[in-house]
Amino acid sequence: MNTIPAFGLGTFRLQGQVVIDSVRNGLELGYRAIDTAQIYGNEADVGEAVAASGARREDLFLTTKIWVDNHAPEKLAASLEDSLAKLRTDYVDLTLIHWPAPGRGVSVEAFMTALAGAREKGLTRRIGVSNFNIELTRQAIAAVGKDAIATNQIELSPYLQNRKLVDFLQGEGIHVTSYMTLAYGKVLGDPVIAAIAQRRQATPAQVALAWALQLGYSVIPSSTKRENLASNLLAQTLRLSDADMAQIAALERDGREVNPDGLAPQWD
């Protein structure tokens, strides 16, 4: 069953007291989905903030991601158990393979089968992938079945709309999670988005997030400022017109921000 929250709190590049404050503020404001990863180096900080919040575990949706060094079947589940200890929880709601790392010597079949095994052990409720292109997603489907893949978390913004990959995923019934929806803040200064925001009495960030939500994607924006965390949440109630959506669709420029050598696939 695919029940990925539409709106979550991202923690990429946030560490120490900064991420503790961000998660605390987010939970106080009503966020219930939190996205982290082994490589972020902040799982223990996230766990501390969650524990201190008093929020009930069953009300939260925690996501983490397996780093490439832990792809090997003999390492994967043990690394996830380590993540759970840091997060102070018995399970996470979603675990993703962070990068496919096609040249690192572990096949998609091997790490997806190991990830499915971790789910069978109860370490994670759902499994999925991140930064997978069409061909690698096909390999993941061949390994565990498309119904087992809860989402593909990919970079998506008004400047990088990834339509070919999105069409494939939606055709297979695999949910799309958008990260970097604001393109490191670059879209916030876009005149087209600024004009829509002015018309809608909204912020540019709300417009970009609402665009992604209306396309059916989940979003996981991050912020260190409480007022921005609160403001971003309001994107859920912002409705853009067909004309607004068409204007944003025209902003596509293949503006990829994240493309690490050796980890990223050949993009579609």
DSSP 37-84: -GGGT-HHHHHHHHHHHT--GGG-EEEEEE-GGG-SHHHHHHHHHHHH
Name the domain count of the chain.
Answer: 1
Q: Is residue 264 part of a domain?
A: no
Task: Provide the domain limits for residue 119.
Answer: 9-249
Q: Is residue 160 part of a domain?
A: yes
Report the pLDDT value the prediction gives residue 83, as an integer from 0 to 100. 98
Active-site pick, 40, 159, 179, 217: 40
Q: Is residue 255 part of a domain?
A: no
Q: What's the average model confidence in pLDDT over 172-189? A: 97
Q: Is residue 92 part of a domain?
A: yes
Read off the pTM: 0.97
Tell me the per-residue pLDDT of 211-254, one tens digit each, with 9 for 90 and over: 999 999 999 999 999 999 999 999 999 999 999 999 999 999 99
Q: What's the average model confidence in pLDDT over 147-163? A: 98
Q: Is residue 3 part of a domain?
A: no
Q: Is residue 186 part of a domain?
A: yes
* Residue 67: CATH number of its domain: 3.20.20.100
What is the residue type of 48?
Answer: E
Tell me the per-residue pLDDT of 96-143, one tens digit each, with 9 for 90 and over: 999 999 989 999 999 999 999 999 999 999 999 999 999 999 999 999
Tally Cβ neighbours within 10 Å of residue 248.
Answer: 26
Q: What's the average model confidence in pLDDT over 60-81? A: 98
Q: Is residue 267 part of a domain?
A: no
β-pair type (61-66, 92-97): parallel
Q: Is 40 one of the catalytic residues?
A: yes
CA distances 42 to 17, 49, 87, Å, are: 10, 11, 9
Q: Percent of the chain at pLDDT above 70?
A: 99
What pairs with residue 154 in β-bridges? Answer: 178
β-pair type (92-97, 9-10): unpaired
Whether residue 1 is predicted with pLDDT greater than 80 in this model: the reply is no
Q: Is residue 194 part of a domain?
A: yes
Tally Cβ neighbours within 10 Å of residue 212.
Answer: 24
- Mean pLDDT estimate for the chain: 97
Report the pLDDT value the prediction gives residue 3, as an integer from 0 to 100. 82
